[in-house]
């Protein structure tokens, strides 16, 4: 049992804006179509298994890959495949996608049956077949995460219920609405990994969730619910691990290197439900909020639903939306089109009007050091930014730019409104290109 919480370095206290926290999740009706990308995960993209004109059923696998790091995708509706085409994500990446027009019947595919598992390997295979990825936003295939390589031993499981980013309340609603599945899913992951202790970390500003899960965990050996300080980014994987275990993930390393596996509360909840029903990952609980949204809600949405239809279900816009974000305001990604679909990792959709979306004008860095003080990874964002502006991308490696978790704390506190996080993303992208050129023998 944890006797003392370790406080991570840096961090900030932005407004929580959890106005939807006490709004019970409502189920959205069938959309007019779904567009299901073949890559909704870290790793190799899937290859479409269907073609235009095919009829598909709910839960049917429509994309898969034979690569070790990947996750299959499934149809969220029954209906007809109307197109298989390339779409462009908001980050500029091209990916194949399957478009399906629902028939309204929602017939289940014959493969949707509870998996029969007799050992660890069969459980891991079932988890892969479910299509589950990290639902906290990272999108790493869970089956891979629960399969440590030789020489790596897991002794601690951490379930992330911090949900520290402003506005997002979908995980909180999962904790209130499906707490028994969270405990069951935690037990299942403990069984797969062979660990005998698990910590469910929840920020102290969610007392109802803490009380509810604590009462259920009390009946289970080795599962402990821990109240955490409400400080952003408490839900960051490395910050959460340090708070609960005192261990630090080494530079360039993974939680597995220090014997820890971290899973999101909604992820383990889904795992429990999948082993009970056999229904793969085809729907997602999403917080819809922001100053431009007429009727904010927590909504259960079928994966592939166009963003436009989700916002229409929430009353449309009460103000001209100047910025649409998938995810939270700190780490989310701005969307270029309302035709973009809901993904497996989508936990929030935010729309902001003119006043809230206005981008402050950058001014000259005054070397105040606020960005360095706020950085939870002990980096120097001002020098990373300086080198990016001057085109010295390789120099950013000396400032450990790849250790940045892109939490946005530096940009939040910068009095000069420097585009610090954008600089980090540019540096990482350029370093990947440089590494690829060197590997290929280029200059």
In a domain, 325, yes or no: no
Tell me how many domains the chain contains: 2
Per-residue pLDDT, 139: 87
In 161-206, which residue ranges form alpha helices assigned H by DSSP? 170-177, 179-193
CA 408 to chain centre: 16
| pLDDT value, residue 10 | 95
Positive/negative CA dihedral, 404, 410, 416, 417: positive
Strand pairing partners for 55? 80
What CATH number did the domain enclosing 257 receive? 3.40.50.11540
Joined together, the tokens standing for residue 169 give 């309340």
Residues 270 and 169 in one domain: yes
Percent of the chain at pLDDT > 70 equals 98
What is the mean predicted confidence (pLDDT) over 117-130? 96
8 A C-beta contact, residue 81 and residue 54: yes
Query: How buried is 13 (Cβ within 10 angstroms: 0-12 exposed, 13-18 middle, 19+ buried)?
Result: exposed
Residue-number span of the structural domain to which 250 is assigned: 120-277
Selection from 317, 299, 295 nearest residue 308 by Cα: 317
- Per-residue pLDDT of 82-121, as tens digits, reads 999 999 987 778 999 999 999 999 999 999 999 999 999 9
- State how far the Cα of 76 lies from the Cα of 78, in Å rounded to an integer: 7
- Report the alpha-carbon distance of residue 381 to residue 378 in Å, rounded: 9
Query: Half-sphere exposure of 11 toward its Cβ, with a 13 Å CA cutoff?
Result: 18
Average of per-residue pLDDT across 187-193 = 96
Domain boundary among 277, 308, 330: 277
Query: pLDDT tens for residues 271-290?
Result: 999 999 999 999 999 999 99
Q: Region 244-251: what's the mean pLDDT? A: 93
Looking at the domain assignment, is residue 241 inside a domain? yes
The predicted-structure confidence for 289-314, as pLDDT tens digits, reads as follows 999 999 999 999 999 999 999 999 99
Residue 343 lies in a domain: no
Structure tokens given for 320: 């001209």
- Token output for 244: 């609960």
Q: Is 368 helix (H, G, I), strand (E, B) or coil?
A: coil
Res. 2 pLDDT band, cuts 50 70 90: low
Q: Which residues of 271-301 are buried (b: 16+ CB within 10 A; e: fewer)?
A: bbbbbeebbbbbbbbbbbbbbbbeebbbbbb
Residue 236 in any domain: the answer is yes
Residue 330, in any domain of the structure: no
Contacting residues for 66 by C-beta, under 8 A, at least 6 apart: none
Q: Is residue 90 part of a domain?
A: no
- Is residue 440 pLDDT above 90, yes or no? no
């Amino acid at each position: 049992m944890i006797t003392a919480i370790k406080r991570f370095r840096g961090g900030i206290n932005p407004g929580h804006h959890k106005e939807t926290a006490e709004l019970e999740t409502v189920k959205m009706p069938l959309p007019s179509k779904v567009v299901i990308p073949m890559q909704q995960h870290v790793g190799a993209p899937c290859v479409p298994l269907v073609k235009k004109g095919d009829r598909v059923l709910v839960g049917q696998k429509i994309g898969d890959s034979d690569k070790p790091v990947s996750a299959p995708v499934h149809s969220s509706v029954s209906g007809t495949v109307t197109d298989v085409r390339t779409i462009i994500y908001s980050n500029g990446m091209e990916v194949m996608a399957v478009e399906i027009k629902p028939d309204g019947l929602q017939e289940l595919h014959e493969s949707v049956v509870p998996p029969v598992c007799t050992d660890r390997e069969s459980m891991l295979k079932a988890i892969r077949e479910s299509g589950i990825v990290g639902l906290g936003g990272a999108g790493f295939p869970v089956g891979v995460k629960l399969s440590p390589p030789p020489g790596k031993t897991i002794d601690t499981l951490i379930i992330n219920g911090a949900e520290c980013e402003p506005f997002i309340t979908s995980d909180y609603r999962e904790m209130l609405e499906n707490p028994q599945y969270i405990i069951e899913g935690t037990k299942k992951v403990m069984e797969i990994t062979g660990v005998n202790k698990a910590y469910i970390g929840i920020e102290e500003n969610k007392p109802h969730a803490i009380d509810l899960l604590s009462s259920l965990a009390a009946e289970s050996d080795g599962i402990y619910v821990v109240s955490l300080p409400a400080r952003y980014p408490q839900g960051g994987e490395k910050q959460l691990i340090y708070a609960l275990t005192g261990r630090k993930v080494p530079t360039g390393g993974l939680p597995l290197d220090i014997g820890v596996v971290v899973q999101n509360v909604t992820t383990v909840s889904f795992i429990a439900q999948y082993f009970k029903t056999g229904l793969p990952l085809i729907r997602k609980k999403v917080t819809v909020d922001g100053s431009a949204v007429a009727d904010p809600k927590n909504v259960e949405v079928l994966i592939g639903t166009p963003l436009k239809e989700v916002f229409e279900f929430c009353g449309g816009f009460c103000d001209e939306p100047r910025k649409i974000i998938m995810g939270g305001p700190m780490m989310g990604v701005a969307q270029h089109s309302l035709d973009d679909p809901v993904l497996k990792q989508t936990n929030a959709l935010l729309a902001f009007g003119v006043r809230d979306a206005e981008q402050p004008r950058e001014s000259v860095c005054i070397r105040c050091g606020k960005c360095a003080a706020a950085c939870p990874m002990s980096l120097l964002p001002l020098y990373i930014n300086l080198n990016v502006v001057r085109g010295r991308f390789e120099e950013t490696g000396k400032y450990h730019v790849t250790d940045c978790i892109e939490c946005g704390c530096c940009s939040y506190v910068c009095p000069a409104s420097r585009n610090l996080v954008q600089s980090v993303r540019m540096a990482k992208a350029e370093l990947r290109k440089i590494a690829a050129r060197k590997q290929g023998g280029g200059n």
